[in-house]
Structure 1
Amino acid sequence: MAASWVYIEDIPRIQEGEVEIRGWLFNKRSSGKIVFLIIRDGTGYIQGVATLDNFTEEELDSFEKIPIESSLIVVGDLRREPRAPGGYELLLKRVNIVSYSEDYPIQKKDHSVDFLLERRHLWIRSRKQNAILRIRSEVVKAIRDFLDEKGFVLIDAPILTPSSCEGTTTLFSLDYFDLGKAYLSQSGQLYMEAACMAFGKVYCFGPAFRAEKSKTRRHLTEFWMVEPEMAFWDWQDNMKLQEELVSYIVQRVLEKRKRELEILERDTKPLEKVVPPFPRITYREAIEILKRNGQDIEYGDDFGGDEETIISNQFDKPVFIHHYPAKIKPFYMQPDPENPNEVLNNDLLAPEGYGEIIGGSQRIHDLKLLEKKLEEYNLPREVFEWYLDLRRYGSVPHSGFGLGIERTVAWICGLKHVREAIPFPRMIYRIYP
């Protein structure tokens, strides 16, 4: 009977017997008349052992010459081997090469980041990059599971929009047939506000685009966000959901992706502390922290990466900063009734110097106030008429937030730059591959 094709991740469940593995040659070595082939199949790694018991000397010599990343199909008997990757190895009986990989460009040596980014389509095969993207997948699944279990409805927001959400200076524009300019979405939030009036609790999950000419380690021009929106929730309800979600994501990764965190050599002790409640400070208190740490900053200034790092380093958990000045925040944020110069919003900064991963707020629900804000921000009223309708027909207080996937993944993985937290990064000087 032919050997069954199995995935390497399923081997601990199978434990023994003859199996077939289909994958790629990750590495190889030899010792005397034994050749060790380390094979990966996308789900894991296993050591295949070829000896004179099953092969000729000529065949063993040929195995030593197989280039790394050649694709192959192997058959062999499983056996436990604690010293081998994954705790099992395969006593090889057959080795069939599907395709030779001559002169594979990424070798077992140091390469520059630019070199690797130019070959991102190959770089994602490496152990570290593979581990990062598996953790990203777990983060996405955790978010979906958390919100779905709480009764949220997934609503897809459009990627092409007629207007700005976060400011007109960071828009990617294009000609939209005979209708003039359209823009790549900066956020699905405005559409989620419409959806929450229909479904109560909703979220969208998709790409967002910011034409910022920024080269910091926290910026991409294309990134992914999850954006929940909730009718009848105030800004404090909103923050409670945020800390529950972030804690759920982190604890889920700690539980499900231990192997990947080990590959990344991530110190998990700081992540184990990420449980509610998170500390909360006002914008004014954040300004005082920065001043005590030697920063030249005044009330009304916005925070950049350096300032966020200083603030977040004061805490061993994510920290909320709330009540920012209205003038440095978007038009749709609800002013504080007790101090209309500040808004009922929050940013959530990740610890260990990773900075903002969430921005959220209670939204303006009063029609006249929203109309006034559109004028103050010099935004074209005609493209926001549908948005104003939400305040004309059954308006209610409502709140929401956006969580950036790449920044969250970078923090959980302990990465220096968000470019490794997305499969194919888009930056100010990079749109290849």
Structure 2
Amino acid sequence: MTAVADPVQAAAPHDVDRAARLVAASTVIVMVGMLFGMKLADRLAVSNIAQVVGIALLFVAYPRLLRARDVILILAGVASVAVASLSISLQYGARILPTHMIYFVLATVYLVAVYRASRDHGAADALSHGVRHAIPVTAVVLVAMLAHDRWTGTEIPDLGFDDNSHAAVAACFLAFASLRFLRTPLRLLVALGFFALALITYSRMPFFFAPLLALAFVTEYRLVRAHAVKVWQVYGAHLVLLAAVVLPGLLAARAAAQFTVFERVLAPGESTSASTASHLELLSLGAQLKMDSAWNLLLGVTPGGFSNSVAGSQVDLTSIAVKDPLVYQAILEGTAPLHSTLGSIVLEFPLWVALLYLAVLARTALALVRRREWVMAMFLVALVVATSLYSSHNELYFVVGLAVPIALAYGNPPATPRAASTA
């Protein structure tokens, strides 16, 4: 890749159009690709092939995309993780996981590329165009995956993902994206459809998104209602809003036997409490491991290195063995995640990387609010909250879920603010 620190030069109109088409194509490929999480080699999945293609298209669109400081930061991160790998190998005899490192290098390059394309080249509109065109394709793919799950008698639908909660988070992202990027009033119905798909996975994750999704839904409803010019459009908007209020209640009250997720959330039992206790215990183990040595504190235990490191450490695993024997066995096998995206980043990555990640989240959220990008601001907050007790950072949908808000937050020039009508 080529790194430059020179100001971006003005491009010819045909070059701008070509670059915009490439950015849009990159976005469509990555968004559709994120739905194919089937693993190829450890952490690397089919979705990462789409990610590589998407990154390549961005660099074809803007050959001098990254700046010198970007390359330096990426290389510093790689070097820090390499030193951390040596550290945990010497401390705990933990094995190094190269596929995890490759995954996060790809994720970092993609996020930085999207940031630079939006900030330095004004590509946010082209990326938005790509999201708009990707949404109907993703809807078809997810419905097809659901049909396949039903046809094969899959007890817990996963919509083609290797985990039903992964499918739920991806569908929730698409619900928010539909509200923000689709231009037709039907975006309200499309968003409801994606949220219904999230509920069908039986995961509890949609309920973490639900409050802010409801608020985003009302925000967009007001825009649809404000722009209605015919009577049927006004009443249609009212009916959609009514459906958004009534449908979840009807599902909870009358379909609990089929959609057992409602029973798990509305009437949590012993298994739900045990699951929560297990996740909290994992966070406790992660905190103890982080403070186990100065090397762990400063450098982390490498991406995906939690299980291998804690299993070889002197951290007491008795409690997790009693509370969740299956997770305890997975720790011994080196396959158990920390079950927290934020916790994993703080534990497994170098301290400076974790602090940079938190700073980027905060700055992006504030920038979205300043630009009145309410829907994506609410999604970003919901994503952080929802994944605090669930690992999602090692899947492409999470990276895309960060890239889209970043593009809107730092796009230059800023997009026209989208404010709700007071009507």
TM range (shorter): under 0.3
Q: Which has the higher strand share?
A: 1
Q: TM-score, normalised by structure 2?
A: 0.24
Q: Which has the higher helix share?
A: 2
Q: TM-score, normalised by structure 1?
A: 0.24
> More relative contact order in 1 or in 2 (CA 8 Å, sep 6+)?
2
